[in-house]
Amino acid sequence: MLSSRPIHLLALLATLLAGGAGLATAKEGIEIPPPAMDGAAAMAQTETAILAGGCFWGVQGVFQHVKGVTNAVSGYAGGEAGTANYGMVGSDTTGHAESVKITFDPAQISYGRILQIYFSVAHDPTQLNRQGPDKGTQYRSAIFPVSNEQAKVAKAYIAQLDQTKLFEKPIVTTIEPDRAFYPAEDYHQDYLTLNPTSLYIIYNDLPKVENLKQLFPALYRDDPVLVSEAGMSN
């Protein structure tokens, strides 16, 4: 299945030949405090969060192992509907970022805790327009809030984390409200689970799931919630 995304494979091989520079962050999680400001208790049974942090395979894979998450769909956000496909997004001209729409039960996990996992283990928020071996604005670190409340929580949390100096560099995550989400092609869904022997997944993404297990044991679930079971619409 890796041949379906030759850009990722070539980027990984080039990085390995260069001595592996830029890949170390994929294996490291960072322990960070929860947000001081979190969302208000929700009355709804479900909420959604839309996050971008490099290749959506890994971000999706991480959140599929989080308790309280009922679905995590890989897709695109930041651009127009007509360009929301892998071929065009890969051109780095559409404004889209590879993103994941996370549906979760706010009675089990808050939006703030979702962001804590996002910043801690799902990606490196200090890398500008790249993530590991993948380069381009489509791999940027971005939060697409679906409400003013989410935008406030995200902005406050970024400021809080920058003040802690726990990251070696400033956080470059952008907050981009009022952006639609478009699901990615079927072959991108559940990719980490379906391709555990992929070189890209082994090197870049499985360590993130292990970091989730180590840093957030109370929130970790062994059996991932899969799109093929939950459905695209959730």
pTM: 0.89
Amino acid identity, position 209: V
Does 90 qualify as catalytic in the annotation? no
List 55, 69, 102, 143, catalytic entry: 55
| Residue 19 pLDDT | 45
| Residue 129 pLDDT | 98
pLDDT under 50: residue ranges of the chain: 1-4, 6-7, 14-25
**CATH match for 2-30+44-227 among 3.40.50.300, 3.90.1300.10, 3.30.1060.10, 3.40.50.1370:** 3.30.1060.10
Neighbours of 57 (CB within 10 A): 27
Per the CB < 8 A criterion, the answer to whether 99 and 75 are in contact is: yes
| Residue 231 pLDDT | 74
The ranges assigned to domains in the chain are 2-30+44-227
- Could you give the CA distance from residue 158 to residue 166 in angstroms, rounded to a whole number? 12
| Residue 42 pLDDT | 62
Query: pLDDT digits over 162-202, tens only?
Result: 999 999 999 999 999 999 999 999 999 999 999 999 999 99
